[in-house]
Amino acid sequence: MIQDFLVPLITIGLAELGDKTQLAVLTLSSRTKKYTELLLGVVLAFALADGLAIALGEVVTKVIPRDWIKTGAGVLFIIFGLITLLNKEEGKKSSHLKNPFLAGFVMVFLSEFGDKTQIAAGLFATQFNPFWVFAGVMLALILLSVMAMFLGNLLMKRLKQKYISLAAGAIFILIGVLTFFGVL
């Protein structure tokens, strides 16, 4: 039982560290002060995407073509990037995300769907108890997301909003382009 929890926790935690999903969470957290809403959206997305993978193994990625998932994620990242760069309210210190829950959910769900960690979670479920796999995967993803949000909050406090907006927009566009080319 302990390995059913620890193997996914450690493996997914290491694999997700610095992944595009965590970069998205970091960037989104620098655009809002509603961290609880953002975290809830992120956690729900992880629970659904990885829960489906664990419940269905690799079936989900066989039903929906991986290219469609990557294209949708790439387009969404680029749109978020352009919206961020074109936002003329950068002088405001208030939230730029109208709905942090929805933004976090959509970005993470599309980023995670068909991702290596989602597939790994599904594979772990074929070898270990799915309940403990899910618990280990979720703990790893939540811990990493909280750390990304903490870092995003620090950036928001230390840098001018204008520079954060430029960096966030550029990161979103870069992730979108790299997603198209299969680099991420």
Q: What is the pLDDT of residues 140-168, one digit of tens each?
A: 999 999 999 998 888 778 877 777 778 77
Q: What is the pLDDT of residue 93?
A: 46
Integer CA distances (angstroms), 84 to 2, 110, 184, in order: 43, 18, 21
Q: State the Cα–Cα distance between residues 108 and 68, nearest whole angstrom.
A: 16
Q: What is the pLDDT of residue 184?
A: 57
Averaged confidence pLDDT in the chain: 82
The DSSP code for 94 is S
Q: What is the pLDDT of residue 44?
A: 97
Least Cα distance to 184 among 47, 71, 46, 54 occurs for 71
Q: What is the pLDDT of residue 59?
A: 61
Q: State the Cα–Cα distance between residues 168 and 115, nearest whole angstrom.
A: 22
Q: What is the pLDDT of residue 91?
A: 45
At 71, is the pLDDT very low, low, confident or very high (cuts 50, 70, 90)?
Answer: confident
The string of pLDDT tens digits covering residues 20-63 is: 888 889 888 888 889 999 999 999 999 999 998 888 765 655 67
At 94, is the pLDDT very low, low, confident or very high (cuts 50, 70, 90)?
Answer: very low
pLDDT above 80 for 102: yes
Q: What is the pLDDT of residue 62?
A: 65
Higher pLDDT, 93 or 160: 160
Q: What is the mean pLDDT of residues 167-172?
A: 77
* Token pair of 21 as six digits: 């999903």
Q: What is the mean pLDDT of residues 3-21?
A: 86
Q: What is the mean pLDDT of residues 128-137?
A: 93
Whole-number percent of the chain with pLDDT over 90: 29
Q: What is the pLDDT of residue 95?
A: 47
